[in-house]
Amino acid sequence: MIGSRSRRITSALAATAATGLAGTLMACAAEASPTAPPDAAPAAKAATVQTVMTGLNFPWDVAFFKNGDMLMTQRGGKLVLRTAAGVVRTVNAPFSDVYAVGEGGLMGLEIDPTTVHTYFYTCQTYQSAGKPVDVRVIRWRLTNDGSGAVREKTLVSGIPLTSGRHSGCRLRFTPGYRISIGTGDAATGTNPQNLSSLGGKTLRIDPQGGIPADNPYASRTGNARYVMSYGHRNVQGLAVRPGSSQLWSQEQGTDRDDETNVVLRGGNYGYDPVPGYNESVPMTDTTKYPNAVRARWSSGNPTVATSGMTFLQGTGWGRWNGALAVAELKNTGVRVLTLDAAGTVTRDEQLPVLNDTYGRIRTVQNGPGGALWVTTSNGDNADKVLRLAPYAPPA
């Protein structure tokens, strides 16, 4: 359990270690064991957090072109380009159909890895005449000068949307030039276990919206063709483990048991909140579904409201090279999970220099030079994009 005392200790350690620093900045399933409070590793003196952008309102995701330029979505329906040289501009794009209510809005963002500075993809809640319709994945083309974006094609529609609650929605290119999509269950109890619903799933498409022939239900008709895994509550993070084809996902729990999972082809992750929308059921119900895929890590009780995830990359991170960084909203920080070759969590720590300092953390993303890019989620135009340069933690 992560209580206020634990956070105070971590915060105190971070404050001590960070004095004088610049204030400008998860394939086989394994049984998850109860999660102990994370080790409070002190921040190394070389840790430097740079504040890259300020005055933002719920920045949701960031992604990088090959030349270092960064795109960023804001939940209210705004797209921003920051060049590698630091020039920031709003990208003119038609976002008037974004349904920015509750947890929904302009959310996940991914850049086509085969292009230099052209194609990107977003996930948004969609409205018509002010009423919610669905969640959609859209392909865009950035103009040559980066000042605007043209909507080319809706790749996936019909992901369920009700009030905006549990809208997902994270995007990630995966090996084989495929796009994986993490969705929420729209707070509708029958969605996670229903293969005819796109909610509470990870989905998999090609960059034109086609169905890959090796999807587990590709031979069926309807929505099941898109499904890679099911039985999820609200997938908030996706990341590919470096040097492998493993896709990992991060999922928000109810009042407990946020989960880190490895996405298995056709896997059932065991969430089935029926009758009605019964959130007292287990996140992974192995009584009802004995073959459900167990989480690699779970928060236990209470939830810490996990969100985005990324793998730290580069020798500058020392023993954290290849570790999994996870954003935490409620716990206002970033968790670092060290994994062995089999994907078992061997060490669970907080990243001190970011803990209890910047408020709610929505997204963490590996960026140019191995730096960790971070977005906050506090609202009131008080949000930031941060950049944490690689540093080696104590042994």
Asked whether the beta carbons of 161 and 135 are under 8 A apart, the reply is: yes
Local confidence band at 163 (pLDDT 50, 70, 90 cut-offs): confident
Distance of CA 372 to the CA centre of its chain: 14
Model pLDDT, residue 164: 85
H-helix or E-strand spanning residue 4: helix 4-18
Q: Using alpha carbons, select from 48, 60, 16, 19 the residue that is nearest to residue 375.
A: 60
For the ranges 12-26, 246-260, 352-366, which has the lowest average pLDDT? 12-26
Residue 18 has pLDDT above 50, yes or no: no
Quote the CA–CA distance of 306 and 250 in Å, as a whole number.
Answer: 7
Residue 21 confidence (pLDDT): 33
pLDDT digit string (tens) for 234-245? 999 999 999 999
CATH annotation of 4-388: 2.120.10.30
Residue 16, pLDDT score = 35
Between CA 23 and CA 15 the distance in angstroms is: 11
Q: Encode burial over 29-56: b for 16+ CB neighbours within 10 A, e otherwise.
A: bbebeebebbebbbbeeebbbeebbeeb
Q: Are 234 and 168 contacting, i.e. CB atoms less than 8 angstroms apart?
A: yes
Tens-place pLDDT, residues 88-98: 999 999 999 99
User: What confidence category does residue 298 fall into, taking pLDDT thresholds of 50, 70 and 90?
Assistant: very high
Average pLDDT, rounded, for the chain: 91
